[in-house]
Amino acid sequence: MSEWVSYYRSEGPGPEEDEEEDDERQEGTEAVADYRFSGRDSLIFLVDASKAMFESDGDGVTPFDMTVQCIWNVYTSKIISSDRDLLSVVFYGTEKNKNLADFKHVYVLQELDNPGAKRVLELDQYRGDEGRVLFCETFGHNADYSLGEALWACSNLFSDVRVRLSHKRIMLFTNEDDPHANDSAKAKLARTRAGDLRDTGIILDLMHLKKPGGFDISLFYRDIINTAEDEDLGIQPEESGKLEHLMKKVRAKETNKRALVRLNLYLNKDLSLSVGVFNLIQKAYKPYPVKLYRETNEPVKTKTRMFNGKTGSLLLPSDTKRAQTYGNRQIVMEKEETEELKRFDSLGLYLIGFKPLSMLKQHHHVKPSQFIYPEESLVSGSTTLFNALLMKCLEKQVMALCRYTARRNTPPRFVALVPQEEEVDEQKVQTAPPGFHIIFLPYADDKRNVDFTEKVPASREQVDKMKEIIQKLRFKYRADSFENPVLQQHFRNLEALALDMMEPEQAEDLTMPKAEEMNRRLGNLVEEFKQLVYPPDYNPDGKAVKRKQASDSQTEKRPKVEVSKDELRRHVQKGTLGKLTVPVLKDACRLCGLKGGGKKQELMDALTEYFSEH
């Protein structure tokens, strides 16, 4: 009896149900790493608040303005994309101080916590000219700070967090390239604290801003900063003079780099290396609305219970089995058997061979690709072997064919590993990482033979004219230049509600064609093409005229197909009910006095059960 009570009073599904949900969640390898296992990302913005940061370089925008605007943008984007991540803002070089260790000239504006509307509004106070004045009045400036103590205060913030953290990162915003030029003791302390951060797995990134005479990293910060294992210390972006460049650097660092899965790439039986699998593209959806209790606005919890359809008694997970209908028989399986059926192959990437890149065709891409990068922390030497394989594939212009099993309950796939060389832009910000794209290849079962209508041949003149039109309308396409207008407007509406704005900002729909610009480019080409292809009286804006049908050839309603009970019984015995259409099956259910709605399989199951009893 206690088992029933404990099950009925449980706040969620039982352990077996939970496992089933986990299996379903892992069915697609697109599933993102769960916070329960990987922890949360944490990011501290450490901002230089000395007077030099408030001096304009002639265009009216100060380095401090750029920094606050950048942090504000990250906060608002995190609220949408990763609201469980922890963010903090710390100023150093202020007259006032506020931190746990009571370090002078270090002010913790916001401790590590989830981004929210109140925090965004607090940051909003310090934007623009009025914000600068308010900052000076509230915090003041003092150049007698210690960067080592500021780093120590940040380390204390990470230590005070009671949840598991997967990534710990500090972004240092400053335009002073040698803060302790006249104080060797403070410089030594800063280097020591930076080393302590490195030892405890905290990443310190420098977001250096433009200053008169240029920013020289080699004077001080080359010994201070430390990067993640998958980032190159030798390539440092240039100083930022504009907000766009600063945001580009910040996005490159703060973007989550959680691996979907970590597994081995087997080159043969005795040689393997460890890689992490990443999604470079993840489809964005509107977040699901959360159901709240109307009186308290607290989230409601969902309970799932199973009942016997005939007796109405409550069922435990152990009371149920799985079955599939094959022919007219139900094949019943235990839960363990259904799980065993899913485990087809051991996890990993198994090398089959190499093929020229020219053999990979566009129609071979059956789903979005993934990306692999070496995981040195799991198998020592993986990075060296991975780079050697990558360089050889790039040199010989070949792809590696592999058998790929990402999770224990997913079937194996044939994939092509397409090599990609690292690319950096003019400011030395990485635009493409080095590694292999995993291209999912189709099975023979996935290919379809479609009967296409006979092509209508076009004349040489028509083809040449269309080539001119295409040439005029060509433009350089970049995926990151186009945002989903529906999603953008949805989030701006939510942002306006959360931040108490008078009205939401209207999102620009960049997917709409620029008709005026296209007409200007094309000129008379469209009219010339229409004259070559369409008849003289063709009007694309006119309504299509329906053809009149002769009275003797009027369409008649399709005769209703009736099936007798004897015919239905024969179909059930032979297992050929599936050959009947849904309308016929619905009529058959009505004939037998059964429920006539539902899906085809449900109709077939109802008829099968009926004739097994009668």
Active site residues: 36
**Residues for the chain: how many in total?**
614
Contact 158, 113 (CB under 8 A): no
**Cα 238 to Cα 215: distance, rounded to the nearest angstrom:** 9
Place of tokens 């010989």: 396
DSSP assignment of 68-107 equals HHHHHHHHHHHHHH-TTSEEEEEEES-SS-B-TT--TTEE
Q: Token pair for residue 83?
A: 């609201």
Residue 184 CA, distance from chain mean position: 46
Beta-carbon contacts of 303 under 8 Å, excluding residues fewer than 6 positions away, are 10, 11, 12, 13
Beta-carbon contacts of 54 under 8 Å, excluding residues fewer than 6 positions away, are 62, 63, 64, 132, 135, 136, 141
Torsions phi, psi for 429 (to 5 deg): -90, 130
Classify strands 423-424 and 430-432 as parallel, antiparallel or unpaired: antiparallel
Task: Count Cβ atoms below 10 Å from residue 395 Cβ, excluding itself.
Answer: 9
**Cα 402 to Cα 405: distance, rounded to the nearest angstrom:** 10
**Cα 90 to Cα 105: distance, rounded to the nearest angstrom:** 11
**Cα 40 to Cα 84: distance, rounded to the nearest angstrom:** 7
